[in-house]
Structure formats: C-alpha cells, structure tokens
Structure 1
Amino acid sequence: MDEARRDRDEEGRARNARPRDGLGRPLPYGAEGVERQPEGVVRSPEETVREAQRLLDAGMPFHAHEVFEDAWKSGPDAERELWRGLAQMAVGLTHAARGNAAGGARLLRRGAAAVEAFGRPAPYGIGVGPLAGWARELAGRVEAAGRPGGGGVVDAAAEAPRLRPGPREDGH
C-alpha cells in the first residue's frame, strides 16, 4: 500500500487502517496489533461501563476512551459531559503510559473536573467522587515522574481506575 495516501473507509472518509498497539500507537502496516474498537457503536450505559472497565483492566485505556467517546456522541445531551470526562481521563492515562507526563496530567485533571461537575447521585453506579480523586492523585504522580529523575511512565493496567466502587466484576 502507498503509505503517502490516506486510508479511507467505504464512504470515503479518512480512517487510519494501520494496526495499533494496546496504547493506541500506530504500528507499521502489516504488523501485529490489537483489535481496534469499532467506531460509532451505540451501547447502553451499562454496556459502556462494562466494556470500558474491561479495556482499562487490560491496560488499554486508549481503546476505553473510544468506548466513552461513542457514549458521549450517541447519548443524551444531559450526559455528554460525564462520558466526555471519562474519555478524557482514559486519554490522560494513555498519555501517562506513553510517557507524556504533561499531557497526561492535564487530561486527567480536565476529566476529573468534568465528571465532578456532572454531579451526584453517581449515574449508573459510577463513582464520580472516587474517580475524580484517582485522576488528580495520578496526575500529581505523573507530573513528579516526568521531572528529571522522576521515574518515567506508568503501567496502564496497574493504574486502571475502578469506574464503580467495589470489587472487580471478575472477582479480583
């Protein structure tokens, strides 16, 4: 394939067909990547939370962000900031895991502010307060790690947040 050309979908829209790694980074054509999340999937809020948590637990926050993005684009206007804030936190974790401390911290904090502004009670069982606290705490650690001698990137799976308070659904 001519890599100077843009990949296009069936309707002619630009779509990058390069495989991606678990953190969403493009790989060379022909490389083994992880399965990408289909775009534009309309899920129930329950399905969105379950799928995003599965991806976060697997260390794939970029892919979780795509699930949240579908919810923010297809859901009711009243819930857009919730899903957008969750997507921003997932992208913040992605950047932190890729070693972009400044971008990661900024997006983690932006996402925390968005979900907190959404209010209470916690929609769909999502722990808005604990999630915002997780994001701000991680943002501080990411910034410290990004300073000279700070230690580098974070492990996306180890840092995965709990979207709902309580034990993981897989029993761990």
Structure 2
Amino acid sequence: MLHLWKFFITLLLELVYPTTATEVPATPEIKRMPKLVWLDTGLVNYAAQVQKEVLGAKDIMDAWRGMIAEQIVAQELLTLTDKVSQKRCFWVRNKSGSNAEVDYVWVQDSMVYPIEVKSGHNAHLRSLHSFMNHSMQTVAVRIWSQPYAVDEVKTADGKEFKLINLPFYLVGKLDSILRRF
C-alpha cells in the first residue's frame, strides 16, 4: 500500500469516487468504494503486463476486457478542464441492493451528463437508463468504437432522451459537442 501511496502523491494515480447525484453539485462520496484511474495508459499497461494485448488489439474495447478503454476516457476527460479542483466521478444508484453504475459523469454548464464506455449497438445500457430515469437530464453519452451518431432513446419507464454515440477519437471534443444540445 505504501508504494501505491507514492503514485497518489505524484498524481500518477487518482481515486475516482462515486456520486449518487444526477444534478449539480455532483459531489464525490468519499465513504464509498472508488475506482483507481492511472494518469497514463502506458503505466496501466505496464503495471497489468498487458502491453502486447493492447498494442495488438484491433478494437480498444477488446483489450483487457474493455477496462483500458475506461482508462483512456478518464484521461481524455481530465484534459478537458483546467480546474484542478474538479474531480472526476462515476455514478451509482443510491438504493440498497442496486448495482447500477455509470462509468463517468461530466459536469458542464450546470448539467450532469452520464457517460458510458461501451462496445456497440447491442451493449446493454441499463445503468445509463437508470441514471436517466432519476435525472432531469435529456442527453446522455456513450463512448464507443463506432461512428458518431445521435439516437432518440426511450427507457423502459418511458423517459425519452438523446444518446450521443461518440467515437473514442472525439472524446476530446465532448464539451463542444454537448454545447450543441
């Protein structure tokens, strides 16, 4: 644990805490279990000894069961803000026994946007739908390996929203894309 602490101090690792908020402020709940996010995917690949697997993957979602894709998205989100105090969060449903979890939430213009990192059209988005059912938000984001698209989606509870399907290479433009909606 002492070695890990050195990585936190040098800002090479970040503990990303969950939030249960669907509206601002989306404050991290530090008493809950965090995700571990590395600053650099090269360090992640080295630490997990998956360099060959990642470099040889045809689709980033195939590498390391998609976990490296979440790391890449976390890094891209970090580059979108110059606010040192803005912490990345992921969303969990605040209900006993629920395992709904959205990979990240992005706060922009007083809105909380859910972000899921998924592989394709057939990927289940149950947690994203759960977030949308509990939110006033009308826009959600899926980051994937497919082309950019915007879908009109309806949850099982009947809530309609726009799903922005964003390829990995456009994550760096997330803020400007969201301004269009």
TM-score range, shorter chain: 0.3 to 0.5
Higher helix share: 1
TM-score (norm 1): 0.33
TM-score (norm 2): 0.32
